[in-house]
């Protein structure tokens, strides 16, 4: 995902990309294409990019083990300053461009922000009820047939201590 910015005049431009996840070396759970929409504001001294990406993933719910597909989105901003300095800026998302350069490669940022779009806990829905700990029934699809007075044998020694 490379922008050849010398092809654009100063001002605001809309740029769209679509690339297969395999071409970006993104593996499971990502599927199909990564879509990137960038608003580029180019001036004589800098280029400001405001980018939105979206990607589809095939996932397994952490609570109920159901498989599902979901589209994830992420946003990132980047500033490219024209400079002959060799020092890298300390700020995240700020890059230096040598005045002789003519391209910006967004591939590394796209891969990183795509991976960051996945949540730490993957749920099929916010109100997922999960699986019954005793019988394994998916509580989103059916009622559990376990009785409430069934108690695990693991707690039996503690019950004996409680009686004493």
C-alpha distance across the termini of the chain, in Å: 71
Whether 148 is covered by a domain: the verdict is: no
Relative to beta strand 11-20, strand 2-3 is unpaired
Whether 62 is covered by a domain: the verdict is: yes
pLDDT confidence of residue 45: 87
Range of the domain at 55: 2-116
The number of domains in the chain is: 1
One digit per residue, the tens of pLDDT, for the chain of length 164 reads 888 888 888 999 999 999 999 998 888 899 999 999 999 999 988 999 999 999 999 999 998 898 999 999 999 999 998 887 777 766 777 888 887 888 989 998 999 999 999 999 999 988 988 888 878 788 888 888 776 555 567 777 887 887 77
Distance, CA of 55 to CA of 35 (rounded, Å) = 6
Whether 154 is covered by a domain: the verdict is: no
Whether 90 is covered by a domain: the verdict is: yes
pLDDT confidence of residue 75: 94
Asked whether the beta carbons of 29 and 2 are under 8 A apart, the reply is no
Instruction: Give the bridge partners for 57, in sequence order.
Output: 30, 70
Whether 131 is covered by a domain: the verdict is: no
Whether 48 is covered by a domain: the verdict is: yes
Distance, CA of 75 to CA of 78 (rounded, Å) = 10
Q: What is the DSSP string of the chain?
A: -EE-GGGS-SEEEEEEEEEETTTTT--TTEEEEEEEEEEEEE-SSEEEEEEEEEEEEEEE-TTT--EEEEEEEEEEEEEEEE----SPPSSTTEEEE-TT---EE-HHHHHHHHHHTS-SS--SSTT---B-TTT--BTTTS-----TT---GGGHHHHHHHH-
Whether 130 is covered by a domain: the verdict is: no
Whether 126 is covered by a domain: the verdict is: no
Taking the mean position of all CA atoms in its chain, how far away is CA 139? 28
């Amino acid at each position: 995902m490379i922008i050849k910015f010398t092809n654009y005049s100063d001002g605001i431009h809309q740029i769209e990309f679509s690339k297969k996840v395999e071409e970006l070396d993104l593996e499971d759970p990502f599927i199909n294409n990564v879509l990137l929409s960038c608003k580029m504001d180019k001036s004589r001294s800098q280029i400001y990019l405001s980018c939105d990406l979206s990607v589809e993933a095939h996932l397994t719910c952490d609570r109920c083990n159901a498989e599902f597909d979901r589209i994830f989105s992420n946003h990132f901003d980047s500033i490219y300053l024209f400079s002959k300095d060799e020092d890298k800026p300390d700020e995240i998302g700020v890059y230096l461009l040598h005045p002789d350069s003519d391209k910006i490669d967004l591939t590394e940022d796209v891969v990183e922000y795509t991976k960051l779009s996945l949540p730490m806990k993957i749920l099929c829905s916010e109100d997922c009820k999960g699986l019954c700990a005793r019988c394994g029934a998916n509580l989103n699809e059916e009622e559990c047939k376990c009785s409430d007075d069934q108690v695990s044998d693991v707690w039996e020694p503690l019950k004996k201590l409680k009686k004493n």
